């Protein structure tokens, strides 16, 4: 199943973002996965991660 990724700085998902992610997940039949932002990760590492996981959308 394809995924919608939510990029955030900690494990606290904002209410607004949670509503958006849930609505998109239901509309497109996708799972939601949270990615915690790590400033040490390069853009290449991040891109590889979402490509491997078959992400179709990233919410920031």
pTM score > 0.75 for this model?
no
User: What total of structural domains would you count in the chain?
Assistant: 1
Residue 13 has pLDDT above 70, yes or no: no
pLDDT score of 38: 78
- Average confidence (pLDDT) over 7-27: 79
Q: Write 6-13 long-range contacts (CB < 8 A, 24+).
A: 6/32, 6/33, 6/34, 6/35, 6/58, 6/59, 7/35, 7/37, 7/58, 7/59, 7/60, 8/34, 8/35, 8/36, 8/37, 9/36, 9/37, 10/36, 11/36
Domain span at 51:
3-59
pLDDT tens digit string along 19-57? 888 888 899 888 887 777 777 888 898 888 878 877 777
């Amino acid at each position: 199943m394809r995924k919608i990724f939510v990029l955030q700085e900690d494990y606290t998902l904002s209410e607004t973002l949670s509503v958006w992610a849930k609505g998109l997940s239901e509309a497109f039949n996708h799972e939601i996965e949270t990615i915690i932002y790590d400033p040490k990760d390069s853009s290449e590492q991040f891109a590889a991660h979402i490509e491997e996981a078959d992400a179709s959308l990233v919410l920031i």
